[in-house]
Amino acid sequence: MLRDYLPALVFLILGTLVGVLFATLNLIVARRAPNRSKVEPYECGLPSEVRAGFRFGISFYLIAMLFILFDIEVIFLYPIAVELRSFGKFAMSETIVFVILLMIAFAYVWRRGALEWK
């Protein structure tokens, strides 16, 4: 029984391996020649005007959360759409319920005015 889970395990290991490799390969192989202005942030060729303790507004965070919410919803639809015929009727109704729930959330967010930029 354990054998038919082997591909998932291999997939997991390979995924993490490639992920970690891409993240750290640069640190290992890259040629390092830091100088004073290279470590400073790039702001159109001038020393940065942004003060250290600058706090970004809440609207950016709000928009980011809403985006993630509805983007993940779309990502869930992809696998279903690919194999809809083999899943049968049940999957179709399940997706419809899923989308309606999120539509309610979307209507609520729209009416509360979180989408307008303040």
Partner 1 sequence: MEIKREPVSDLRVRQLTAVDMLRGDLPEEDIERYVEERVLTTTVDRAVAWAQGNSLYPLTFGLACCAMEQIHVVASRVDIARFGFEAFRASPRQADLIILSGRVSIKMAPVIRRIWDQMLEPKWAISMGACCSSMGVFNNYALVPSDKFMPIAVHIPGCPPRPEALMHGILKLRDKIQGHAPDGWRERYDADGTEEVLPDGDFSSADISIFKPGDTAGA
Partner 2 sequence: MSLTENYRKREESITLTSEPAGTGETHELLTLNIGPHHPSTHGVLRLLATLEGEVVRDIKPIVGYVHTGIEKTAEDKAYWKVIPVVERMDYLGYYFNAMAYCGAVETLLGIEVPPRAQYLRVIHLELNRIASHLVWLGTGALDLGAISMFWYCYREREQLLDLFEMSSGQRMHTRYFQVGGVMEDIPRGFEEKLRQFLKIMPPRADQYADLFEKNQILLERLRGTGICDRQTLIDLGVTGPLLRAAGDPWDLRKAHPYSSYDHFEFKIPVGTVGDNYDRFRVRHAEIYQSVKIIQQALDGLPEGPHITPDRKVALPPRHELATSMEALIHHFKLVTEGFRVPPGEAYYPIEGPRGELGCFVRADGSSKPARVHMRDPSFSNLQALAPMVKDAYMADLIATLAMLDPILGGIDR
Which residues of this chain interact with partner 1, rule CB under 8 A? 30-33, 35-38, 40, 42, 45-47
**Nearer Cβ to partner 1, position 45 or 53?**
45
- The residues that bridge with 86 in the sheet, in sequence order, are none
Give the interface segment with partner 2, choosing from 27-35, 54-62, 79-87, 89-97 (CB under 8 A). 54-62
Please tell me whether residue 54 binds partner 2 under the rule CB under 8 A: yes
Distance CA(57)–CA(53), nearest Å, equals: 13
CB 107 within 8 A of CB 59: no
Residue selected from 15, 19, 43, 82 as contacting partner 2 according to rule CB under 8 A: 43
The listed partner (partner 2, partner 1, none) that binds 27, CB under 5 to 8 Å by sort, is none
Distance CA(76)–CA(98), nearest Å, equals: 10
> For residue 3, what are its two tokens?
């054998």
